[in-house]
Structure 1
Amino acid sequence: MSESTTAPVALVTGSGKRRVGNTVLRRLAERGFDTVLHYRSSTNEAEATAQDIRTAGGRCEAIQADVSVETDVVRMFQTIRDRFGRLDVVVNCASVWEPKPLEETTAEDVERQFRINTLGTFLCCREAGKIMAAQPEGGLIVLVGDWAVARPYLNYAAYFASKGAIPTLTRMFAVELASRNPRIRVNCIEPGPVMLPDHLRPSERRYAVEGTLLKREGSPENVAQAVLAFWDNDYVTGVCLPVDAGRRLAAYDADRPA
């Protein structure tokens, strides 16, 4: 049974762990959205986040799904439709970023990252579009790419192959979904060093910061601010917004990540 809500509803995939998606989810909740937290395996962190939002007076539902499995994605969006009766924002943060030298990269490595980073994003956008096309107010879909897809660095061949599709998916879904409901907007955020992975060496972390024009590391808050900017401005669609402190413009060495 649909439990309709008058508040806008936002889904953030990959928002269980305390990383970028988690921050985006919390900021949307603070803005007054009813929220849906998607996670794959981080059950404890997901439930803790959902409880934090509820304690603060918000509504948050945690849903487990593997975005690389079509039946899981269909089930997740049907659950959202049943529980909320609407869906206004989807932010696709679920992804995997795994380094490996090119010579050691296997077909399985490429397929794994494609299934999560590319297929998972495609499936979530498709299902979100079905809901948004049927509601007069449309909605906003945000994909998450990477600043370096146009300037890839070494040892992430499978990752860049999978993330390289995100700008095209953004433009394609913007065109397709606007033809079904011109109130649907689809945009992309391309983060730079906003939350560097733990496995980077100190020298790599310093390089990532020095490689930006602004000479500082960003934070997940910068991504959340970009999502909210897309929500506030309803005359923008089909664009990819770098949130990278000018990283793509700065001189760099291809053997360094981030």
Structure 2
Amino acid sequence: MTSLFETFGVPDPVALVTGSGAPRVGRAIARHLASLGCRLALHANTSVDQAQQVADELRQQHALDVIVTQGALDDDGVAESLVDQTGDHFGRLDILVNSAAIWRPTPLADVTAAEMRRYFEINTIASFLCARAAGMIMAKQDRGGSIINIGDWATGRPYLDHAAYFPSKGAVEVMTRSLAVELSQLNRGIRVNCIQPGPVLLDDSVSDNKRGKIAESTLVGRVGTPQNVAHAVQFLCENDFVNGVCLPVDGGRGIYAPDGMQVGMNTG
């Protein structure tokens, strides 16, 4: 029995993790929550077959009830539908992790209004709609629930060719604080927090040389893992006195100026 039981008052809390079909951070979060005894609703858009495979594995490994929800989060009504399907099937919802997101490099001159809107629709608005719908269910539960959004460490230090992506992730941080205030008025047990991952899952196309430079750009001297983010999710679920925070899980990348990048001071 984990302390999730103490937090939510049920031996097998229910968690919905968006973007958990493909082998990305969302899937690692879902697997970790299953290992803690959570019943699960996975979500996928184009990777439904992969999500079904993961669901089968988790049922066999942990003897838990696992369902798969499907839909494109930029379609009207899908965000609310995922939450409703989860609540209808399990009769409750204790944890929501908004992990689904899109990103790809685009030079500034090529960014279109349509692309900007799509980033906001999926990365920001869908997370808001899922969180609001989940909050309505959690408001009726004695101990509320935990909503965790996924931001990005680099919203404070954005890098090139992602001018459409970073505004959508920066809005997630403000949204987290706003929803924490709003939903606490419905039930003091509802908490809304945000994780800002750093380099935890690099694309296979990243060269060894670049991978090494990224590792050295962190204080811990290495690239992180999706499991680092999953452990942070566990912490934010279990600690019922943390609300409205944005937690960097970046190995110190956000505060570190590697050698050669430090700015000297002339003290005269």
Task: Could you tell me which runs of 5 or more consecutive residues in structure 2 were left unpaired when the two chains were aligned.
Answer: 1-9, 262-268
Q: Which residue does the alignment assign to 2:58?
A: 53
Residues 107-135 of structure 1 deviation map (CA, whole Å, 9 limit, x = unaligned): 12211111110111111111111111121
Question: Shift in Å at residue 6 of structure 1?
Answer: 5.8
Structure 2 matches for 1:233-248, cutoff 5 A? 233-248=239-254
Q: Secondary structure at the match of 1:11?
A: strand
Q: Which residue does the alignment assign to 2:113?
A: 107
Residues 60-84 of structure 1 deviation map (CA, whole Å, 9 limit, x = unaligned): 1001022222311222222112111
Structure 2 matches for 1:24-173, cutoff 5 A? 24-56=29-61, 57-173=63-179
Task: Name the amino acid aligned to 2:252.
Answer: G
Residues 55-106 of structure 1 deviation map (CA, whole Å, 9 limit, x = unaligned): 1112210010222223112222221121111000000100011101111111
Superposition TM-score, scaled by structure 1 size: 0.93
Question: Shift in Å at residue 245 of structure 1?
Answer: 0.3
Q: Does structure 2 conserve the Cα–Cα contact (< 8 Å) formed by 1:132 and 1:184?
A: yes
Would you say 1:250 and 2:256 are equivalent positions? yes
Task: Name the amino acid aligned to 1:15.
Answer: S
Q: Does structure 1 conserve the Cα–Cα contact (< 8 Å) formed by 2:16 and 2:83?
A: no
Task: Name the amino acid aligned to 1:160.
Answer: F
Q: RMSD of aligned C-alpha atoms?
A: 1.6
Q: Which of 18, 21, 43 lines up with 2:23 in the alignment? A: 18
Task: Name the amino acid aligned to 1:251.
Answer: A
Sequence identity (%): 46
Q: Secondary structure at the match of 2:195?
A: strand
Structure 2 matches for 1:225-240, cutoff 5 A? 225-240=231-246
Superposition TM-score, scaled by structure 2 size: 0.90
Q: Secondary structure at the match of 1:180?
A: coil
Task: Could you tell me which runs of 5 or more consecutive residues in structure 1 were left unpaired when the two chains were aligned.
Answer: none
- Structure 2 Cα separation of the partners of residues 193 and 174 of structure 1: 27
Distance 1:244 1:141, change over 3 A: same
Residues 130-181 of structure 1 deviation map (CA, whole Å, 9 limit, x = unaligned): 1111211100000000000011011100000111101101100000000110
Q: Does structure 2 conserve the Cα–Cα contact (< 8 Å) formed by 1:142 and 1:227?
A: yes
Q: Does structure 2 conserve the Cα–Cα contact (< 8 Å) formed by 1:67 and 1:123?
A: no
Question: Shift in Å at residue 197 of structure 1?
Answer: 2.4
Which structure has the greater CA radius of gyration?
2
- Structure 2 Cα separation of the partners of residues 131 and 69 of structure 1: 22
- Structure 1 Cα separation of the partners of residues 99 and 107 of structure 2: 25
Question: Shift in Å at residue 206 of structure 1?
Answer: 2.3
- Structure 1 Cα separation of the partners of residues 97 and 156 of structure 2: 22
Would you say 1:7 and 2:12 are equivalent positions? yes
Q: Secondary structure at the match of 1:164?
A: helix
Residues 33-59 of structure 1 deviation map (CA, whole Å, 9 limit, x = unaligned): 001101111011101000000111122
Task: Name the amino acid aligned to 2:147.
Answer: I
Q: Which of 206, 217, 236 lines up with 2:212 in the alignment? A: 206
- Structure 1 Cα separation of the partners of residues 36 and 233 of structure 2: 12
The alignment of Structure 1 onto Structure 2 pairs a total of residues equal to 250
- Structure 2 Cα separation of the partners of residues 177 and 9 of structure 1: 19
Q: Which residue does the alignment assign to 2:266?
A: none
Q: Does structure 2 conserve the Cα–Cα contact (< 8 Å) formed by 1:37 and 1:63?
A: yes
